[in-house]
Amino acid sequence: MQRLKELIEMARERRIGFRIDEVMSGHHTFEPGCGPAGQLPMRFRVTWGHRHLAAFASPLSDDFGKADLEGTVSIDFLCREAPCQGTFELKYLSEQAIRYCFEFEANGTRYRYVGEKVNIWPWNLPVSHTTCFGTLVDAKNGQLVSRSVLHFRLATMIPFVASFRLA
């Protein structure tokens, strides 16, 4: 155990980090009174990663599975390519989930999006790793604005994997 801690500390000192680009797209539905009815397109393009790969990958680290996230979000009838910032969390062991949390501004209002890929088990990875259920709220008052179902399209798999880079 001591040797593992020493190796992690060595990797931290060298400041080896990583970044990866991801695109999720699908639809969202406004809550009544918040926008037009029906399913409307939604997409986010984000880059997530951690400045210390060892801290991200180590169960002994407070940053285990946590990464910074930044990019853009487009939500029909709300925003187009709005800059967003937040966090990405791999919660495989504790919650069998992957979570995206970010905030952005549109039309003078601050919004918070939380999306989750849930029920991640070996027998359902093709669905659980590609489907993200999300909610959009007004960041100031917590009012629910929209619900979404986004997908990691298999056509984006090669660009996703190719975008991995050490930093």
**pLDDT tens readout for residues 85-126:** 999 999 988 999 999 999 999 999 999 999 999 998 878 888
Domain boundaries, given as residue ranges, for the chain: 19-50+64-166
Q: What is the pLDDT of residue 14?
A: 62
Residue 125's pLDDT is 80
Residue 10 confidence (pLDDT): 57
Q: What is the pLDDT of residue 8?
A: 59
| Structural tokens at position 157 | 């798999």
The pLDDT assigned to 9 comes to 64
- Pair 135, 143: CB distance under 8 Å: no
Instruction: Check residue 7 and give its pLDDT.
Output: 54
The pLDDT value recorded for residue 51 is 92
- Residues of the chain with pLDDT below 70 are 1-14
Residue whose tokens read 């709005």: 82
CA pair distance 61, 85, nearest whole angstrom: 23
Tokens coding 89: 């969390």
CA distance 4 to 1: 5
Task: Specify the CATH number of the domain 19-50+64-166.
Answer: 2.40.128.620
Please report the DSSP string for 32-78 in residue order.
TTSS-SSEEEEEEEEEEEES-HHHHH-TTSTTTTEEEEEEEEEETTT
